[in-house]
């Protein structure tokens, strides 16, 4: 009996637990349905969202918009192709890069010619500036040194702008130089893989890196409006338009950050005085216009200063006034730019000590006179100081070059100069720069290697006389610098081993006795000017180095 009661009690408890469990399950399911499913459905509901609508408003066009619309149709994309050629040496170089290269700057820093350009292959590195200066940012192969690969097809990219409705286009020489095929795409041409319209070169000017090309057209083309770059000012807004990285009709804005900027030292840069801007320009912008807020082209984008081969805030444009002068010469029957010259060389940036020693505060100290050239025929000599042209005072070398280069060959000028402290005047017939300097070459004479040695504690140099053979090639005697004490006066003035000192303070130092006599008379606080020559390159003429002796 008791066992039966136990079984009934257990069964009743089990039924109760089962009922409670069922009730709990129902409650949980109801709670989940109420708080989970219904809550999720409510959260995903967008019945109260308001659809977005595009407003029927517009921003009034600003000057940038108006200028881009006005100038853009006259800006073109230029593509060039250089076909494979059999290299003379049979060697293969590096393949071409359509986006430009970092290139060392040529020339001898500071050496100037009154109209000559100098050897574009001469010279070496000119300091840190050239290491970061991407001179050609469209259309050249990488590297340098003449190992350019000619066995592979190369393409390049650049920009240009139409200046004549008949199809005449201005661009950079480096965009089209050595190209076998040149193609131009207008802003209205279809955006296809077709390279564009074939163009021909009318003329180029390497001294300013400018070129004129032409395309055939059966109807007048849109043109730009040229401005007066002399009226531009630092801080003025400008716009650059071009095809950076093949992205045609790209418009960027900035300001003019400097004017009359020379970026290549020596003769190589004497005809290149740029407008500097921070308007973004990149590989492919070469040859495109720099436009002022009147919609006028005041420059042709030519170069950038960079550490990365891309835009870093500094670009350079050839001023429109220079561009117009070169263009007019290139479309003439001769298709070349003719510049005047009187056949002299000089050095810019001379020490004030040199000016005091030679008695001038402005003008140009003649470093070399080209034998048989106009200046030589007129009696101009080394160490003369040119101070005026036709009665107008000459400020510096840039002023002299600009004046003489603008004159036609055959023009007579009255050249005012100082010789030994006395004012003189000579009549000089201006010659053709290309003809005067076409045969200029340097001697490869080896520096002398024998003779006695003398140390000069006062200057910090060790010297000895040059050999008779070297003196003959130099046209005068001198003392060869054998060593320079680091930090000494001579070191600070730029004297280097291998140079020959021909004069100190205008007194000749052709012999040991002459040299010792001059040096012994020097004293602290005195201006000391060395006239030096490079025996390996006597055709380069003399150079002036000087300062105040401590």
Higher pLDDT: 96 or 110? It is 110
Domain boundary among 375, 409, 437: 437
CATH number of the CATH domain containing 518: 2.30.42.10
Could you tell me if 313 and 332 lie in one domain? yes
| pLDDT reported for residue 122 | 34
| DSSP run (H or E) holding 68 | helix 63-71
**pLDDT confidence of residue 391:** 93
The distance of Cα 35 from the centroid of its chain, to the nearest Å, equals 72
Confidence bin at 356 (pLDDT 50/70/90): confident
* Residue keyed to tokens 């049979």: 90
Q: Which of 412, 437, 462 is the last residue of a domain?
A: 437
What is the Cα–Cα distance from 115 to 434, expressed in whole angstroms? Answer: 8
Pairing state of beta strands 225-226 and 296-305? parallel
Residue 20: pLDDT band (50, 70, 90) is: low
Q: Tell whether 274 and 363 lie within a shared domain.
A: no
Which uninterrupted H or E stretch holds 298?
Answer: strand 296-305
Work out the average pLDDT over 68-72: 93
Average of per-residue pLDDT values in the chain: 78
Banded pLDDT at 246 (limits 50, 70, 90): confident
Residue 506, number of CB atoms within 10 A of its CB = 12
Greatest alpha-carbon span in the chain: 154
pLDDT of residue 524 exceeding 60: yes
Q: What is the pLDDT of residue 90?
A: 36
Domain boundary among 274, 308, 337: 337
Q: What percentage of the chain reaches a pLDDT higher than 90?
A: 43
12 — pLDDT class (breaks 50, 70, 90):
low
Q: Say whether both 142 and 256 belong to one domain.
A: yes
User: CB–CB of 174/201 below 8 Å?
Assistant: no
Q: Are residues 352 and 328 in the same domain?
A: no
pLDDT for position 147: 42
What pLDDT sits at residue 350? Answer: 77
> Does residue 279 sit in the same domain as residue 402?
no
In terms of Cα–Cα distance, which of 333, 305, 339 is closest to 205? 339
pLDDT at 103 over 50: no
What residues form DSSP beta bridges with 82? Answer: 154
Token digits of residue 312: 């870093």
> SS3 of 120, please?
coil
pLDDT tens by residue, 364-375: 999 889 899 999
Regarding whether 499 and 360 lie in a shared domain, the answer is: no
pLDDT digits (tens, 9 = 90+) for 406-415: 898 999 999 9
Residue 396 lies in a domain: yes
Q: How many domains would you assign to the chain?
A: 3
Burial zone of 331 (CB within 10 Å; 0-12 exposed, 13-18 middle, 19+ buried): middle
Question: Do residues 507 and 378 both lie within one domain?
Answer: no
- What are 448-471's pLDDT values in tens digits? 333 333 446 789 898 989 998 888
Q: Are residues 71 and 128 in the same domain?
A: yes
By the 8 A CB rule, do 131 and 309 touch?
Answer: no
Residues 6 or more apart in contact with residue 426 via CB below 8 angstroms:
378, 379, 380, 414, 415, 417
The structure tokens listed for 402 are 């600009």
Does 21 have pLDDT greater than 60?
no
Whether the per-residue pLDDT at 347 is higher than 80: the answer is no
Domain membership flag for residue 30: no
Looking at residue 282, its pLDDT comes to 84
Give the pLDDT of residue 133.
36
On whether both 388 and 513 belong to a single domain, the answer is no
In a domain? residue 50:
no
| Tens-place pLDDT, residues 114-160 | 754 333 333 333 333 333 334 433 333 333 334 445 555 667 789 99
In a shared domain, residues 215 and 355:
no
The verdict on residue 471 lying in a domain is yes
Same domain, 323 and 184: yes
Average pLDDT on 521-538 reads 90
Q: Is the distance from CB of 407 to CB of 339 less than 8 angstroms? A: no
Tell me, yes or no, whether 415 and 471 share the same domain: no
The residue range of the domain holding 432 is 340-437
Asked whether residue 11 is domain-assigned, the answer is: no
Q: What is the pLDDT of residue 446?
A: 39
Neighbouring-strand partners of residue 251: 241
Please indicate, yes or no, if residue 26 is contained in any of the structural domains: no
* Predicted pLDDT of residue 398: 84
In order, the DSSP letters of 167-230 are TEEEEEHHHHTT-SEEEEE-TTS--SS---EEEEEEEEETTTTEEEEEE--SSPPP--EE--GG
Q: Which of 114-118, 250-254, 314-318 has the lowest mean pLDDT?
A: 114-118
Higher pLDDT: 18 or 269? It is 269
Answer with the residue of higher pLDDT: 351 or 541: 541
Per DSSP, the three-state class of 474 is: helix
For residue 245, pLDDT beyond 70: yes
The pLDDT of residue 178: 86
Q: Which residues are catalytic?
A: 174, 209, 286
CATH number for the domain spanning 203: value is: 2.40.10.120
Residue 106, domain member (yes or no): yes
pLDDT at 520: 86
Q: 57 in a domain, yes or no? A: no
């Amino acid at each position: 009996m008791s066992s039966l009661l136990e079984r009934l009690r257990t069964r009743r408890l089990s039924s109760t637990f089962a009922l409670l469990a069922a009730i709990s399950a129902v409650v949980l399911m109801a709670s989940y349905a109420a708080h989970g499913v219904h809550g999720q459905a409510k959260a995903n509901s967008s019945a109260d969202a308001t659809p977005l609508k595009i407003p029927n408003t517009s921003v009034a066009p600003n000057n940038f918009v108006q200028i881009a619309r006005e100038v853009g149709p006259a800006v073109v994309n230029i593509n060039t192709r250089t076909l494979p050629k059999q290299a003379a040496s049979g060697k293969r170089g590096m393949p071409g890069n359509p986006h430009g290269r970092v290139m060392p700057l040529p020339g001898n820093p500071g050496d100037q010619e009154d109209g000559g350009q100098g050897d574009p292959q001469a010279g070496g590195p000119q300091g840190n500036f050239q290491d970061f200066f991407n001179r050609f940012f469209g259309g050249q192969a990488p590297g340098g040194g003449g190992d350019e690969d000619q066995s592979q097809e190369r393409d390049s990219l650049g920009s240009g702008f139409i200046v004549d409705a008949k199809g005449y286009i201005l661009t950079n020489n480096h965009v089209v130089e050595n190209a076998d095929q040149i193609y131009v795409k207008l802003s209205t041409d279809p955006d296809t893989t077709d390279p564009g319209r074939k163009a021909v070169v009318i003329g180029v000017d390497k001294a300013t890196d400018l070129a004129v090309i032409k395309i055939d057209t059966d109807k007048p083309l849109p043109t730009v409006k040229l401005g007066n770059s002399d009226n531009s000012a630092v801080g003025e807004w400008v716009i650059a338009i071009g095809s950076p990285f093949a992205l045609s009709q790209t418009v960027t804005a900035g300001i003019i950050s400097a004017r009359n900027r020379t970026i290549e030292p020596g003769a190589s840069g004497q005809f290149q005085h740029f407008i500097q801007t921070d308007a973004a320009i990149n590989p492919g912008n070469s040859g495109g216009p720099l436009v002022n807020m009147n919609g006028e082209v005041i420059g042709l984008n030519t170069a950038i200063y960079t550490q990365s081969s891309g835009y870093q805030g500094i670009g350079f444009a050839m001023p429109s006034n220079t561009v117009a002068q070169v263009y007019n010469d290139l479309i003439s029957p001769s298709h070349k730019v003719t510049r005047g010259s009187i056949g002299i060389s000089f050095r810019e940036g001379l020490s004030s000590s040199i000016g005091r020693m030679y008695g001038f505060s402005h003008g140009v100290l003649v470093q070399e006179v080209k034998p048989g050239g106009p200046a030589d025929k007129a009696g101009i000599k080394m160490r003369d100081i040119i101070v005026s042209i036709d009665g107008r005072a000459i400020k510096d070398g840039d002023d002299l070059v600009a004046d003489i280069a603008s004159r036609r060959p055959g023009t007579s000028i009255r050249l005012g100069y100082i010789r030994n402290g006395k004012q003189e005047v000579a009549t000089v017939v201006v010659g053709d720069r290309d003809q005067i300097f076409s045969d200029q070459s340097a001697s490869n004479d080896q520096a002398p290697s024998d003779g006695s040695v003398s140390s000069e504690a006062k200057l910090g140099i060790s010297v000895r006389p040059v050999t008779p053979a070297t003196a003959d090639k130099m046209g005068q005697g001198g003392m060869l610098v054998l060593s320079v004490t680091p930090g000494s006066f001579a070191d600070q003035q730029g004297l280097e081993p291998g140079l020959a000192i021909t004069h100190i303070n205008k007194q000749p130092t052709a012999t040991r006795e002459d040299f010792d006599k001059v040096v012994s008379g020097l004293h602290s606080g005195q201006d000391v000017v060395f006239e030096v020559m490079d025996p390996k390159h006597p055709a380069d003429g003399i150079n002036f180095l000087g300062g105040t002796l401590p």
